[in-house]
């Protein structure tokens, strides 16, 4: 059964809502141990697959704080609704200056409700921080942003997260990927979705070729199964790091075309071939897949890693 995405209350660059079904398919049975995500981002993958036990890490303290507060009931449907109605009203009355007031306040003294407000009313619904770690996305120019239906949608997303967390044994931790992966044992499963090298770079998303190599080395040495998300190619470029890092050893590369709806102009215009790299194979079970609308990932023969 393909997992249906549980849409989280926050959005981020490279969010994998559209790949959740494929990741679930490829992962197969959930692990006896923990589902580990060293780059949890919006959390959409874990929230949709709903493993019983999970370790979800990210260097972005604002994301982790938000989920920790939902988990601890410090932030719930009631407080989110109250906040969004009050501050949505101010945005409507004062206009975009109010967005910048909240942004300034958040950058002086970060808190989860302002973070949610900014993430859901900024341009393109992205999450970007400047070199000093300050949120710097401009306003989306819709003073009516927090209309009642939109507030209800966000409140329901928070409720859905709270519901999953109430029946799960999950830990959210601010950690670098190396610390997160050092926790992996033989019964765990790792889903790694790092920033794409050379794209979307900001305070929390600086990602170099060396990081990619370090990640590949760490993943290759894991005692458990893993899936690594990366990009394979678009019309203009091919990810040379796939061949460089993954052509030796028993790894598998699956690809699928995917359109991004947020991000740089190049990605908006052109499909990106996504890659999922694993240290385990995958048998096609076509009967299960019949009638499914989404394209499935296709395994790339080794010789065609680089097209």
Ligand X SMILES: C[S@@+](CC[C@H](N)C(=O)[O-])C[C@H]1O[C@@H](n2cnc3c(N)ncnc32)[C@H](O)[C@@H]1O
Q: In whole angstroms, what is the distance from residue 13 CA to residue 6 CA? A: 17
The least distance separating ligand X from the CB of residue 187, rounded to whole angstroms, comes to 22
**21 contributes a contact to ligand X by CB under 6 A:** no
Residue 209 found at the interface with ligand X (CB under 6 A) = no
Residue 126 CB, shortest distance to ligand X, in Å, is: 11
How many angstroms separate the CA atoms of 277 and 301, rounded?
12
- From 35-43, 96-104, 106-114, 164-172, give the range in contact with ligand X by CB under 6 A: 35-43
Smallest separation (angstroms) from ligand X to the CB of 188:
17
**218 lies in the site for ligand X, by CB under 6 A:** no
252 in helix, strand or coil? strand
59 binds ligand X (CB under 6 A): yes
Q: Using CB under 6 A, which of the segments 38-46, 73-81, 118-126, 263-271 binds ligand X?
A: 38-46
Closer residue to ligand X (CB): 89 or 176: 176
Kindly tell me which residue out of 25, 34, 35, 39 binds ligand X, with binding defined by CB under 6 A.
Answer: 39
Give Cα separations from 143 to 24, 26, 96, 98, 124 (angstroms): 38, 42, 7, 9, 15
The pattern of x and - marking residues 139 through 178 that bind ligand X according to CB under 6 A reads -------------------------------------xx-
Instruction: Please state the three-class secondary structure of 206-250 as a single string.
Output: CCCHHHHHHHHHHHHCCCCEEEEEEEEECCCCECHHHHHHHCCCC
> Which spans in the chain are helix H?
20-27, 44-49, 61-71, 77-94, 96-108, 112-121, 148-166, 177-181, 209-220, 240-246, 265-269, 286-289
CB 277 within 8 A of CB 246: yes
C-alpha–C-alpha distance, residues 307 and 237, integer Å: 10
119 binds ligand X (CB under 6 A): no
List the one residue out of 116, 126, 125 whose CA is nearest residue 158.
116
Q: Does 42 bind ligand X (CB under 6 A)?
A: yes
CA–CA separation, 281 and 93 (whole Å): 56
Q: Could you say whether residue 12 binds ligand X (CB under 6 A)? A: yes
| 267 binds ligand X per the rule CB under 6 A | no
Which range of residues in 13-21, 88-96, 258-266, 275-283 is near ligand X by CB under 6 A? 13-21
Closest approach of ligand X to the CB of residue 24, in Å: 13
Asked if 35 touches ligand X (CB under 6 A), the answer is no
Name the one range near ligand X by CB under 6 A: 57-65, 78-86, 232-240, 259-267.
Answer: 57-65
* Separation between Cα atoms, residue 289 and residue 167, nearest integer Å: 30
Q: Which stretch binds ligand X (CB under 6 A): 48-56, 129-137, 140-148, 193-201?
A: 193-201
What is the C-alpha to C-alpha distance for residues 158 and 168, in angstroms, rounded to an integer?
Answer: 15
135 secondary structure, DSSP code: B
Of 42 and 239, the one with the shorter C-beta distance to ligand X is: 42
Distance CA 243, CA 213 (A): 12
Contact positions vs ligand X (CB under 6 A): 12, 14-16, 38-39, 41-42, 44-45, 58-60, 176-177, 193-195, 204-205, 207
């Amino acid at each position: 059964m393909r997992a249906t995405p549980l849409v989280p209350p926050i959005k981020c660059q490279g969010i994998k809502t559209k790949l959740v079904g494929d990741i679930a398919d490829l992962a197969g049975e959930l692990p006896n141990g923990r589902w580990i995500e060293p780059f949890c981002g919006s959390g959409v993958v874990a929230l949709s697959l709903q493993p019983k036990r999970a370790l979800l890490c990210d260097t972005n303290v604002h994301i982790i704080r938000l989920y920790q507060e939902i988990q601890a009931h410090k932030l719930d449907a009631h407080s989110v609704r109250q906040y969004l109605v009050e501050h949505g009203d101010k945005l409507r009355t004062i206009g975009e200056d109010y967005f910048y007031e909240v942004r300034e306040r958040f950058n002086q003294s970060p808190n989860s409700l302002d973070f949610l407000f900014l993430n859901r009313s900024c341009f393109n619904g992205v999450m970007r921080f400047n070199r000093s770690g300050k949120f710097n996305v401009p306003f989306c120019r819709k003073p009516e942003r927090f209309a009642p239906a939109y507030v209800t949608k966000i409140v329901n997303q928070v409720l859905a997260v709270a519901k999953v967390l109430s029946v799960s044994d999950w830990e959210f931790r601010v950690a670098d990927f190396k610390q997160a992966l050092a926790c992996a044992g033989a019964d765990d499963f790792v889903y790694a979705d790092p920033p794409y090298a050379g794209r979307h770079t900001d305070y929390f998303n600086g990602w170099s070729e060396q990081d990619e190599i370090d990640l590949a080395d760490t993943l290759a040495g894991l005692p458990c199964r893993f899936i690594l998300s990366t990009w394979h190619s678009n019309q203009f470029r091919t990810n040379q790091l796939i061949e460089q890092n993954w052509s030796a050893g028993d790894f598998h590369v699956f690809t699928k075309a995917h359109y991004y709806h947020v991000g740089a102009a190049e990605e908006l215009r052109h499909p990106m071939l996504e890659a999922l790299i694993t240290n385990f194979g995958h048998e096609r079970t076509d009967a299960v897949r019949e009638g499914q609308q989404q394209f499935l990932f296709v395994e790339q023969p080794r010789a065609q890693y680089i097209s």
